[in-house]
Amino acid sequence: MRRSVDRILTTHVGSLPRPDELLELYRREASAEALLPRLRSAVADVVRRQVETGLDVLNDGEFGKPMARATDYAAWATYAFGRLSGFELREWRGPASAFSQIMSRSRDRLDFADFYDSGEIGIPMARDSGEPLRYAVNIGPVSYTGQALVGRDIDNLKAALAGAGLRAEDGFMTAVATSVQIGGSEYYRNPEEQAMAVAEAMREEYRAITDAGLNLQIDDPILVNVYEWQYSSNSDLAGFRKWAQSHIELVNHGLQGIPEAQVRYHLCWGSWKGPHSADLPLRDVIDLILQVRASQYSVEAANVQHEHEWKIWKTVKLPDGKAVVPGVVTHKTNVLEHAEVVADRLVRYAGAVGRENVVAGADCGFGGRMHPELSWAKLGKLSEGAALASRQLWP
């Protein structure tokens, strides 16, 4: 992946606001003949807009990953069920409240129960829009079946990059980490067998992206969020780290044979606008993150629960040839970051790990999480702040 040689390069995390027309095509499950021309033009438009916004390393907005509604931001993970054999989507027949309590055991949700019960925040539920809730269950052997879909997405992005006068190395595509095994298995003997099968299947998608000359971003918000969902209420850090080590080994198994130089690893602490009082501190997992076979590590650094964690990078040895992609604008607030605030954040990271080892990014994707107008304004401030920081760091 490109590095900051004479200025701070800019990028983002992946998901960008989709056009309403494209959302409607996905919602009604339009035919390929109807979808493909609009998808192709939408990718060309979003690449052009990223260039105009000042981004250096850009993507297709994740437009090839279906979203039924503008507020549906789970496509980063759920798209994989359409590219893997062995999964069946089933309708949830219990009460919607029970489905929404899957992640309700964390200390954050216990300590702020009135807030979470108030309806001001929550997991978006399909039933709210009259659509059935569905979840994936593994019912057979897992293999990769998405060759045509990933090929389509690769072709669309490369064509859009070429149309903007850019090269494949200026682009990246996102793919879910191996933790997509949601809903349990009726086929494999245990969760570990199922996870290994998913890792080996998803490797085919990873390889297709890097073989095309594009960069690969592995999306893995599961790593740090499992702590909150399952461990934070009883503070079982040792138990979490035991699980997390095995998870990182699984991610690396999926990345076997994939060039590290083309891989970025992204993790975040969840997109909901809640207190996040139980977020796992970065210091408790940073050694595990640096084991991932990637050349860049994308972390949240703009929201107020994690902005201070730039200090950790002063004491942790970043391996040679690696870079950090701190989020310097965030999806967790509608307040627009000032360019000087963005620049200050980048300068601090440059002081910790070296200016050439910093690429300006966002905390997480904006598509489905924030109004499009604000999303693009924040990316504009990202670029503006990176330019300010570059003038300080390369006087």
pLDDT for position 75: 82
**Host H or E run for residue 230:** none
Q: Is residue 326 part of a domain?
A: yes
pLDDT category at 125 given cuts 50, 70, 90 is very low
pLDDT for position 262: 98
Q: Is the pLDDT of residue 229 over 80?
A: no
Distances (CA, A) of 377 to 330, 337, 339, 384: 11, 9, 11, 10
3 phi/psi in degrees, rounded to 5: -120, 160
Q: Is residue 313 part of a domain?
A: yes
Say how many domains are in the chain.
1
Exposed e or buried b per residue across 356-385, where buried means at least 16 C-beta atoms within 10 angstroms of its C-beta: ebbbbbbbbbbbbbbeeebbbbbbbbbbbb
pLDDT category at 6 given cuts 50, 70, 90 is very high
Tokens for 380, please give them: 């504009």
List, for residues 92-123, the tens digit of each pLDDT value. Answer: 776 655 545 555 678 888 888 888 878 666 44
Q: Is residue 1 part of a domain?
A: no
Whole-angstrom distance, CA of residue 21 vs CA of residue 26:
9
Q: Do the Cβ atoms of 382 and 328 come closer than 8 Å? A: yes
Q: Do the Cβ atoms of 342 and 358 come closer than 8 Å? A: no
List, for residues 235-254, the tens digit of each pLDDT value. Answer: 789 999 999 999 999 999 99
Count Cβ atoms below 10 Å from residue 35 Cβ, excluding itself.
17
Q: Is residue 355 part of a domain?
A: yes
Q: What is the mean pLDDT of residues 245-265?
A: 97
Q: What is the mean pLDDT of residues 70-89?
A: 83
Whole-angstrom distance, CA of residue 17 vs CA of residue 72:
11
Per the structure, the complete domain to which residue 113 belongs is given by 9-393
Whole-angstrom distance, CA of residue 169 vs CA of residue 350:
23
pLDDT category at 126 given cuts 50, 70, 90 is very low
- Name the DSSP letter for residue 207: H
List, for residues 344-367, the tens digit of each pLDDT value. Answer: 999 999 999 999 999 999 999 999
163 phi/psi in degrees, rounded to 5: -65, -25
pLDDT category at 221 given cuts 50, 70, 90 is confident
pLDDT for position 94: 66
Q: Return the CATH number at 385.
A: 3.20.20.210
Residue whose token pair is 């798209």: 79
pLDDT for position 118: 81
- pTM to 2 decimal places: 0.94
Q: Is residue 124 part of a domain?
A: yes
Q: Is residue 139 part of a domain?
A: yes
Q: What is the mean pLDDT of residues 186-208?
A: 93
Whole-angstrom distance, CA of residue 319 vs CA of residue 291:
10
Count Cβ atoms below 10 Å from residue 344 Cβ, excluding itself.
16
Q: For the chain, first and last CA: distance in Å?
A: 25
Q: Is the pLDDT of residue 128 over 80?
A: no
Pairing of strands 323-329, 296-299: parallel
338 phi/psi in degrees, rounded to 5: -75, 145
Q: Is residue 212 part of a domain?
A: yes
Q: Is residue 2 part of a domain?
A: no
Pairing of strands 134-138, 172-176: unpaired
DSSP bridge pairs for 327: 361
